[in-house]
């Protein structure tokens, strides 16, 4: 077990102004930004305005900012920078993959029953427009027993084109065995290669990742959750072998190549082909700073171990409260701890906690409360949360 000193953590938390007074357990919704990331954004905005903001110098600067940001993200995910598409958030990345497939009537799209409503709604709209079939496999029931790989395999069909799932389920916190799921899909006798789209909202910034080895076709994520970066910057990894089968849907000047007269001639040869046009480029500096700051605290393996240690501590202490039931029967595999109250009243609990400066959230399916534990979480925060639940 890796132990990072309390003193070190207290000193490190001083980078985050919001954490000075709050007991924060909503990293899965949005992480607080460090001061240095806020400063980096402001400085980048100043530079942009001084150069232009619409000038040749700014165009060069924006291209370099995007290049540096792709490289910073790629280094964290162990992928080539050219496989990276810069997006605004997870939903944009998922929609690029969902709509970029050449769907035909009768094709099959498989979801799990633990996906975010925004992704489910997009799948149903694709079903309506292209007359494909959409179905769900019951992974929620495998949280404490059962084999998610076997469940997914049972719901594949010869017509399956795409499987959409989350690396860490946003409602229950279960970590799915993606490598085994990929193997099952690759070995299934489908009419087409079965592609895998991963909603990585809860995994990037938590799990040690090597997407090159993992083998998922599309991996959509954001920088504003566990990386504690600014809202408005995310990414999509597209596996090189899957790129030519994924057409751009959202199209702008960043996604195309042109000839000397400005006529479009084709797509960019790398991840830029799925980017569109004007973005809030100063945010890129903030995300790079947030990522770099985390590495000063410890390696991703050390930070992940601390996430697991802290979440296991919260889980164990909640299980000792007679009126609380944790969804998991074993310690969490990552930072999401979901639990239920004996008498319900989950929304009332969240409101009562917020009035005391303690922040969690409700989940509708399953009906529960979710607390997100990061490597930033302290023993005192966990104490405040548990004691406030007991009082409630």
Q: Is the pLDDT of residue 191 over 90?
A: no
Element (H, E) at 120: helix 117-130
Helix, strand or coil, per DSSP, at residue 300: helix
- Eight-class DSSP state of 173: -
| Helices and strands in the chain: count of H runs, count of E runs | 13, 15
- Asked if residue 315 and residue 249 are part of one domain, the reply reads no
In a domain, 1, yes or no: no
- Asked if residue 273 and residue 147 are part of one domain, the reply reads yes
Cα(261)–Cα(240) distance, integer angstroms: 30
In a domain, 48, yes or no: yes
- Asked if residue 360 and residue 247 are part of one domain, the reply reads no
pLDDT of residue 1: 41
Residue where a domain stops, chosen among 247, 266, 292: 292
Ramachandran class of 156: left when φ > 0, alpha when ψ lies in -120 to 50, beta otherwise = beta
> What digits encode the pLDDT tens for the residues 41-95?
999 999 999 998 899 999 999 999 999 999 999 999 999 999 999 999 999 999 9
Please give the model's pTM, rounded to 2 decimal places: 0.96
Q: What is the mean pLDDT of the chain?
A: 96
Q: Is the pLDDT of residue 4 over 90?
A: no
- Sign of the CA dihedral running 225, 229, 232, 236: negative
In a domain, 37, yes or no: no
- Asked if residue 125 and residue 101 are part of one domain, the reply reads yes
Provide the token pair at 217: 């076709």
> What is the arithmetic mean of pLDDT over 182-209?
95
- Per the CB < 8 A criterion, the answer to whether 84 and 94 are in contact is no
In a domain, 348, yes or no: yes
The C-alpha R_g of the chain, in whole angstroms, comes to: 22
Number of domains in the chain: 2
Please enumerate in sequence order all residues whose Cβ is within 8 A of that of 11, keeping only pairs 6 or more positions apart, or say none. Answer: none
- Asked if residue 226 and residue 93 are part of one domain, the reply reads yes
CA distances to 10, 89, 138, 141, 257 from 121, rounded to whole Å, are 42, 16, 18, 22, 33
- Asked if residue 113 and residue 11 are part of one domain, the reply reads no
- Give percent above pLDDT 70 in the chain: 98
- Asked if residue 329 and residue 237 are part of one domain, the reply reads no
What CATH number does the domain containing 21 carry? Answer: 3.90.1150.10
> What digits encode the pLDDT tens for the residues 310-348?
999 999 999 999 999 999 999 999 999 999 999 899 999
> What digits encode the pLDDT tens for the residues 252-292?
999 999 999 999 999 999 999 999 999 999 999 999 999 99
In a domain, 237, yes or no: yes
> What is the arithmetic mean of pLDDT over 248-252?
95
Confidence of residue 3 (pLDDT cuts 50, 70, 90): very low
Cα(223)–Cα(88) distance, integer angstroms: 9
- Give percent above pLDDT 90 in the chain: 95
- Per the CB < 8 A criterion, the answer to whether 229 and 253 are in contact is no
CA proximity to 269, closest of 260, 256, 251, 252: 256
- Asked if residue 69 and residue 204 are part of one domain, the reply reads yes
In a domain, 52, yes or no: yes
- Asked if residue 285 and residue 228 are part of one domain, the reply reads yes
Confidence of residue 101 (pLDDT cuts 50, 70, 90): very high
CA atoms within a 13 Å half-sphere pointing along the CA-CB vector of 204: 31
Residue where a domain stops, chosen among 243, 268, 292: 292
Please enumerate in sequence order all residues whose Cβ is within 8 A of that of 330, keeping only pairs 6 or more positions apart, or say none. Answer: 144
- Sign of the CA dihedral running 377, 367, 163, 154: positive
Confidence of residue 6 (pLDDT cuts 50, 70, 90): low
Which domain range does residue 327 map to? 6-32+299-391
- Asked if residue 101 and residue 20 are part of one domain, the reply reads no
What CATH number does the domain containing 125 carry? Answer: 3.40.640.10
> What digits encode the pLDDT tens for the residues 295-310?
999 999 999 999 999 9
- Asked if residue 281 and residue 331 are part of one domain, the reply reads no
pLDDT of residue 5: 58
- Asked if residue 228 and residue 95 are part of one domain, the reply reads yes
Residue where a domain stops, chosen among 262, 292, 322: 292
> What is the arithmetic mean of pLDDT over 20-24?
92
Please enumerate in sequence order all residues whose Cβ is within 8 A of that of 7, keeping only pairs 6 or more positions apart, or say none. Answer: none
> What digits encode the pLDDT tens for the residues 61-71?
999 999 999 99
In a domain, 265, yes or no: yes
pLDDT of residue 21: 85
pLDDT of residue 7: 87
């Amino acid at each position: 077990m890796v132990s990072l000193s309390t003193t070190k953590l207290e000193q490190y938390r001083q980078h985050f102004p919001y954490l000075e007074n709050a007991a924060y357990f909503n990293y899965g919704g949005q992480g607080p930004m460090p001061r240095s990331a806020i400063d980096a954004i402001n400085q980048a905005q100043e530079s942009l305005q001084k150069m232009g903001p619409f000038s040749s110098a700014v165009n060069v600067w924006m291209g370099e900012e995007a290049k540096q940001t792709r490289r910073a993200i790629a280094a964290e995910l162990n992928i080539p920078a050219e496989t990276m598409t810069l997006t605004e958030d997870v939903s944009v990345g998922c929609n690029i993959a969902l709509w970029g497939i050449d769907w035909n009537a009768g094709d099959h799209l498989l979801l799990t029953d633990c996906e975010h409503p925004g992704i489910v709604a997009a799948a149903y709209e694709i079903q309506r427009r292209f007359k494909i079939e959409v179905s769900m496999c019951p992974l929620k029931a495998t949280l404490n027993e059962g084999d998610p790989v076997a469940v997914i395999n049972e719901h594949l069909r010869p017509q399956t084109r795409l499987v959409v799932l989350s690396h860490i389920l946003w409602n229950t916190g279960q970590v799915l065995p993606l490598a085994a799921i990929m193997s099952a899909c690759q070995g299934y006798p489908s009419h087409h290669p079965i592609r895998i789209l991963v909603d990585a909202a809860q995994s990037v910034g938590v799990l040690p990742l090597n997407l090159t080895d993992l083998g998922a076709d599309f991996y959509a994520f954001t920088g504003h959750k566990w990386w504690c970066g600014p809202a408005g910057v995310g990414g999509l990894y597209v596996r090189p072998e899957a790129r030519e089968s994924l057409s751009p849907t959202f199209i702008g000047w960043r996604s195309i190549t042109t000839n000397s007269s400005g006529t479009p001639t084709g797509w960019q040869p790398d991840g830029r082909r799925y980017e569109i046009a004007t973005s809030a480029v100063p945010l890129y500096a903030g995300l790079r700073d947030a990522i770099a700051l985390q590495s000063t605290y410890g390696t991703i393996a050390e930070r992940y171990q601390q996430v697991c240690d802290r979440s296991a501590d919260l889980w164990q202490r909640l299980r000792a409260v007679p009126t609380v039931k944790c969804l998991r029967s074993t310690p969490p595999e990552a930072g999401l701890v979901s639990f239920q109250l004996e008498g319900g009243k989950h929304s009332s609990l969240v409101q009562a906690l917020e009035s005391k400066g303690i922040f969690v959230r409700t989940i509708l399916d399953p009906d529960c409360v979710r607390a997100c534990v990061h490597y930033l979480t302290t023993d005192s925060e966990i104490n405040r949360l548990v004691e406030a639940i007991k009082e409630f």
